Chain A
Amino acid sequence: MNRPARALSHGFWTCLGCRQLVRVKPATHTCFCPRCGARMHGRVEASLMLTWALTITGALLLIPANVLPVMTVIYLGAGDPSTIISGVFELYHAGFWGIALIVFIASIAVPVMKLVGLVILCLVVQLRLNVPPRQSMRIYRVVSAIGRWSLLDLFMISILVALVDMGAIAEVAAGPGSTAFATVVIVTMFAVRAFDPRLVWDVYESKKTESAAQSAPSGQQL
């Protein structure tokens, strides 16, 4: 029965600012890290609630982000507003399928994957699902690594707005969808920051303890 030792159950906290191990008195609610001075908690405070809130916000904002136009290319006075998905199709039909794939991954696949990943992580902790923690950690790492790449489309828009500005001949204007999309990216990045991956391991440990307590009497009978 050599269970791996978790810091919290042994009276230790890890400072998330500098990763110093701190021994705290049993009933401590919060304290300051002696090394870097950051406020510490045993687990990120209200982590699950905050992650849920930010994830739901992001999911709702994803609707206007995809329905409203993100930018309009006006060429010789005419031009139709394009949404994120139609921008991808334009690139694909123009023959740049490689770039179209990159834009598709960055601005459609990544935000959706991120939201799905966050919902899975939250559900694992909330409903104490029987998911192997290593699997959850893989989701967590993927979600935290890919998030920033969604801003690709917005950088592109900001470049084009400055570049293509020739009055009546050609002009690129940003659309209201881009604001919603930017907010989706920012909100989901905060959601990942708010999620404490150690909660996944807490659930796993407590389930293991429960099953050990249940199987112990039956083991004695045999």
Chain B
Amino acid sequence: MEQFSRHEEQPELHEVVWKRACHQCDLLLTRSHAPVGQRLQCPCCGAVLHRNMYRSVAHTAALSLTGLLLFIPTATLPLIEFSLFSFGAENTLMNGVMALFAAGYIWLASIVLFCSVLAPLAKFLLLGFICWGSAWGSMAKPVAKALRWYHHLQEWGMLDVYMLGILVALVKMSDLGKMTIEPGLYCFAAMMVISSATTVSFDAETVWARLARHAQIPRKPVVEPEDDADDDPEQGSGEGVA
């Protein structure tokens, strides 16, 4: 047994310099960054650890600004119009939320509001702030906070799902009355594409490296926490869920 353990532990502990661990299977890796244009994939479980896109920060900044600008017509112009006999009604992004709210479905209305309006808007705002703010060293703290927020918010933006919802609604009501596509829908589709492009082009590692160049953010593959083991009873309850 002794031979056994010595054999497998010694070379690993003393020779290899670990730089990263896979967040899905905890495998230790000797590389921390992928070359530009490539991605780092875990050899054990296949998780994509980070994707080093070409000019990630500049592209994300441009795309998030585009998304923010597209948000204005999307939120104000009607998306689709439904007409029956001489009656007509239009649907904007906020309309559905308001109608649900008025009908008393507050929980449902807030979910729809959050996933289709607030989260995408916050995503563009945060990414724009992260990309521009990371150029100044004095902004390091708020940018780090914004990165954490973005990390939690990322999966709640559901523009693509909403788009499919519009299509289903179009088909479902087509035998009842007349459905017409309004200019807002084109803006919405464009915003959806931009939103996906922004997600793909953004890479948090690039921003962290950029921050480290300007501010006192550690840029070592392995760091140690400054304060030792603070076992305060307040548990990080938000961490596991949110």
Contacts and interface: CB of A to CB of B under 8 A. Distances in A.
A3 B26 CA distance: 13
A176 B205 CA distance: 44
Interface in B81-116: 82, 84-85, 87, 89-92, 95-100, 103, 105, 107-109, 111-112, 115-116
Task: Decide if the interface of chain B is mainly helix, strand, loop or mixed.
Answer: mixed
A155 to B, nearest CB: 3
Contacts of A160: 169, 172-173
Contacts of B223: 20-23, 34-35
A99 B171 contact: yes
Contacts of A159: 79-80, 91, 96, 165-166, 169
A50 B87 CA distance: 50
Interface string B15-52: 01011111111111000100000000000111101100
Nearest to A144: B155
Contacts of A36: 144, 147-148
A170 B177 contact: yes
Given A12-B21, A179-B107, A164 B82 contact: yes
A118 B226 CA distance: 37
Interface stretch (B61-69, B131-139, B194-202, B229-237): B229-237
A162 B145 CA distance: 37
A94 B47 CA distance: 42
Question: Which of A22, A154, A197, A202 has the most CB atoms of chain B within a 10 A radius of its CB?
Answer: A154
B80 A37 contact: no
A18 B208 contact: yes
A52 B171 CA distance: 38
A6 B172 contact: no
A94 B96 CA distance: 25
A86 B115 CA distance: 26
B168 interface: yes
Given A18-B204, A21-B222, A99-B172, A190 B241 contact: yes
Contacts, number: 282
A137 interface: yes
25 contacts: A4-B44, A5-B18, A5-B27, A5-B28, A14-B20, A20-B218, A21-B21, A29-B231, A35-B144, A38-B148, A96-B172, A148-B158, A151-B161, A154-B112, A155-B158, A155-B166, A158-B165, A161-B103, A162-B92, A164-B173, A170-B176, A200-B25, A201-B27, A201-B45, A216-B1
Interface of A: 1-8, 10, 12, 14, 16-25, 27-41, 44-47, 50, 73, 75, 91, 94, 96, 99, 102-103, 106, 133-134, 137, 140, 148-149, 151-166, 169-170, 173-174, 178-179, 182-183, 186, 189-190, 193-194, 197-198, 200-202, 212-213, 216
Interface of B: 1, 4, 7-8, 12-13, 16, 18-28, 32, 44-47, 49-50, 79-80, 82, 84-85, 87, 89-92, 95-100, 103, 105, 107-109, 111-112, 115-116, 144-145, 147-148, 151, 155, 158, 161-162, 164-169, 171-173, 175-177, 204-205, 208, 217-218, 221-231, 235-236, 239-242
